Every structure is written in C-alpha cells, then in structure tokens.
Amino acid sequence: MSATPQSRDYHDRVVKNKSNREAAYKQSFGDLEEGTLYRDPLGFQTSGPSGSNPVALQKEWGEELENTVVKWDSSVPGSNRATVIEKWNELQRKGANLRQTREIIGKALDTLDWQLPLDIITDVFVVKPEQTPAANFIPRRSTQDDVVHATPQTDQPEPVFGLESGASTDAEGNRVYEFEDPDYEDLEYSVEGYGVATRISDKMILAASNLRSPEATQEEALMLGHRQKTERQILWGTSATAPAQGDANGWGGFADFGQRSAGHGVDALDPTTADPEDYRETTEQLIDVVEEAGADLGSIAIFGPFDYHRQLRRAFTDEIRYDPGDDIITGFATFAMEGGNVPVFKTNGIPRLSSYPTGETNDGIFVVNMESVELAQLQEVMVQDLAKLGPEERMAVDQYNVLVSEAGDGSTLTSDHIAIGEIEVPA
C-alpha cells in the first residue's frame, strides 16, 4: 500500500478565518470553555496541596465514546444499541466512507460538528508511538485564537526604606511619591496548522477482509507521524540544522526559547570522555539553574536521548537524589531525580549522543520548567475526509497549535526556565 502526499492549504483553511476556527475548535472540544487546561497528565500546572492533580479530559471523552450505549435509528446499519465506537467500526466494516460515517453518527448525536479524535480512541486507532514524552506530557490548553498572547512578569517593584519621610511635597503639602509598577512583556505566538493527506484505492479496500483493516493501518501511520512531528517541534522548534530535527516553517520550541549551559557557566559534556558522574553533575547543575529561576522541583522535567539517559542512570545506586520511577505511571521507562520530584525522560526526538557531529557544540538535553510552557491547541489531531476522486478514498490528518512559552518569544536565548545542556564532541 502506498501513500501519496497531496498539498493542502491548512493555514488558509482554518487560522485566517474566524468561522472556520470556531468550527475546528468545536469539532475538537465541543462546548468546552476556551482557555481550559484540558490535558496535563502529570499535573505539572495543576499541583495542589496533596501533590499533583493530573488533568486528562481527553481520556474522559474517550471513555464516554467507548462506554456510553446509544440507541440508534433502525435506518442506521448495524445493531440498534451500541456505543459510538462500536457503531463507528460497524459502519466502516459495512463500507461507509469517513464522511458518511461521521454524518450518520453526528445525526444520531444531534450535532454535525462531531468528529472522532484520533489520539484518544484506542479501540479504533491502536497507536504505539515511539518514545515521545514531550508531546504526551506537555500541558495543553484550548484556544480559538489565531494568535496567542502570553504576559510574563519580568520585574517587580522594589520597596525602599523611608518611603514616607523621603517623599517630597507639592504646593499644598501633599506627599508626592515615585510609583513603581511591575514590568510585563507581551509575547505573541501564531497558531499553525500541519497535516498530511493520503489515499487508499478501492482495490485495496475490496481485497481486504474488512474495510477497517487497510484504513486503520493508514490512519495509525498518520497519527504516529503527527506525534513524532509534534515531539521534535517542541524540542527543536525552528532549528533544522543537524542534529536538530525541527521545522524552520513551524513554531518555536525549547531550543529557541532556552538558555544554553555555557551561559550558566556549566561545561558542555564530551560523550567521548565523560563518565556517569559527569552526567549526574551536569544535570544537577541545570536543575539548579531552572529551580533558581523560580521553578518548583515538582514542575521540572528533563528530556534527553537514550544513551544520555543510560549514562545518567549509572550514576545512581542508592543516593538520596534518585528515586526509581515505579510511582510515575507514564508508560515511559524513566526515573526521577531530586527525591523523586524531577522525572528524566528519554525521547526519540533527540538523537543519540553517538550521532552528534565532531568538532561542534550542539544542544543535547532540555531541563524545563513545565509550568512555563504549554501547547495552545485550536484543533486536536483529527482525521478529515477529502473529496473522492476516482476509485480512491482520500483522507487527511491535521491539527492546529503552537507552543506558548512564558520564558520568551525565541528572539533572545536568555530564559532560565529552559536550561539546555550542550554536547561538545572533539574533532
């Protein structure tokens, strides 16, 4: 089975048109209030007195679609009582295309804006992604705007001694004070759409035992590609020069916003000579940088390549700064430093240290205050049916979002909320 990419102007379709943005938002989030933090599975931005309070509204939506039995009209093919997911599969097996399936279910649910979110329905789309912890665990907030604003407070007023006695008076004897206000910065982030189109021939459909087989395989591949693309964009942003794997046409990422280790007086790691203790010391220094900038330990996360993760694990046996990751139910093999507060994730989005070019200094790991970053999501990953031309089913999978950072807009690399560990491989 082959898939041929086709061009599609996503940006014009959604972002520039308010009515289209509203429709795309409703497909993803229904009546959810705009600006809701709907996904924070590790509780980075939703910590409470008793610890982290994870938010996983997507999981709840998925469970509702999987478990709520609906009474279907007798004109709808298949059983009269079935969940939305069961009905989706029934219609697909009976030969309905994506548009027909969506319209039949939407009519029964009394909303034609209904759509099936790809990344939460495991019964329909069984996705086994590579290690993509940034894409999975970064907090996500809904938005209907094409431009998202963040307003970090960059400086606070400084109290002075003798304010009353030191103030001058006007002609009427009233005190004249010098007022100081906090300093704020207005940061703007443009929502961008990215997607991929594909096609499945009728011959492939008819040759299969049921329609879902080839189509589900195609959809799974498209979803996996989206998750990997999002992971790399979060980490590398517009950096597209090796070993980075970001997209210069996309939005900025950690590599655009953060401050590199040299700016903090932290030596770059040489993987050809560094031992596990060097990895441990460097990582602890970067954690201290982010914590000193105001981050709570429970809001810090570390993202590194597989061999960095392995070397760092070797530095710990029974020391107080390390706890096993048994209590971190993430689906990703990990461990936590600083008394179990700082998870260390390995990701396929960062190449192995052994793959870094010689004679250069490059970004290698990211230590991030996860309270200072989030994905502003206009539309979650959705499957869209395209017009049928000839003996083919055509579909696209797309989403609209942007990484928002209180740490800066990427114009200067001065943010201490994202500390970047550098790798220097000698020639």
Q: Do residues 271 and 257 lie in contact, with contact meaning Cβ atoms separated by under 8 Å?
A: no
Q: Confirm if 412 and 260 have CB atoms less than 8 A apart.
A: no
Lowest mean pLDDT among 105-114, 277-286, 314-323, 394-403: 314-323
- Residue 101 in 3-state DSSP? helix
Residue 116, pLDDT score = 62
Do the domain assignments include residue 95?
A: no
Rg (CA), the chain: 25
Residues 370 and 305 reside in one and the same domain = yes
| Same domain flag for 168 and 250 | no
Give the pLDDT mean for 105-117: 70
Residue 75 maps to a domain? no
DSSP count for the chain of H helices, then E strands: 12, 23
ω into 243 cis (within 30 of 0): yes
What CA dihedral angle connects 196, 201, 207 and 212, to 10 degrees? 40
Same domain, 142 and 160: no
Q: DSSP string covering 8-75, please?
A: --HIIIIIT-HHHHHHHHHHHHTTPPTT-EEEETT-SS-EETTEE--EEHHHHHHHHHHH-EEEPPTT
Q: Looking at the predicted structure, is the pLDDT value of residue 105 above 80? A: yes
Task: Return the C-alpha torsion angle 348, 351, 354, 360, nearest 10.
Answer: -160
Residue 108 lies in a domain: no
Q: What is the pLDDT confidence band of residue 376, given thresholds at 50, 70 and 90?
A: very high
Half-sphere exposure of residue 54: CA atoms within 13 angstroms, side-chain side: 13
Residue 76 in contact with residue 377, Cβ under 8 Å?
Answer: no
Any idea what the Cα angle at residue 85 is, between residues 382 and 144, rounded to 5°? 30
**Number of C-beta neighbours around residue 400 at 10 A:** 27
176 and 297, same domain (yes or no):
no
pTM higher than 0.85: no
Structure confidence at residue 304 (pLDDT): 95
Statement: residue 370 has pLDDT above 70: yes
The answer on 168 and 133 residing in a single domain is: no
Q: Which amino acid is at 329?
A: I
- The residue range of the domain holding 425 is 1-67+113-155+186-427
Q: Lowest mean pLDDT of 4-8, 27-31, 172-176, 351-355, name the range.
A: 4-8
Same domain for 176 and 282? no
Domain count, the chain: 2
Do 35 and 166 belong together in one domain? Answer: no
**pLDDT at position 232:** 95
Are 171 and 245 members of one domain?
A: no
Max mean pLDDT among 1-10, 21-30, 329-338 falls in 21-30
State the CB neighbour count (10 A cutoff) for residue 243: 19
Q: Are residues 243 and 350 in the same domain?
A: yes
Burial classification of residue 184, based on how many CB atoms lie within 10 Å of its CB (0-12 exposed, 13-18 middle, 19 or more buried): exposed
